[in-house]
Amino acid sequence: MFDSLFQSSASAQTTDQAAEPVNLATAKAGSRYHVTSLGKTRTARLEVLTAGLAPDAVIDVLRSSGTRPRIVACGEIRAAIGEDLARGVKLLQCGCGCGCNNERDNT
């Protein structure tokens, strides 16, 4: 048992960041993410900020399909982010060893 634990940690991942960075446009509905970047340009960041997201916020993606606006839940608020804007919002999937208290219990 100890051996298998040791081997998996030694061979599989060399870094702590197991989760691939994604953006809001490709995020899966029903998943929870950490916001790592609001956008590439100042204008984009301001727009996303105005919509209600913040850097390091934890969001639930409620709807993500086609070119329709992405609907996300961030605490009490719901925000709709246009698909073009969503593409610049960088996310990290929650629950892959991020160590926060927002990981879902349902497996």
| C-alpha distance from residue 93 to each of 2, 11, 55, 60, 76 (Å) | 28, 22, 14, 10, 20
Q: Which of residues 58-97 bind Zn ion (CB under 5 A)?
A: 94
User: To the nearest whole angstrom, how small is the minimum distance from the Cβ of residue 12 to Zn ion?
Assistant: 20
| 100 near Zn ion (CB under 5 A) | yes
| 48 near Zn ion (CB under 5 A) | no
* DSSP code of residue 50: H
CB atoms within 10 A of CB 23: 17
Nearer to Zn ion, 48 or 59 (CB): 59
Residues that bind Zn ion (CB under 5 A): 94, 98, 100, 102
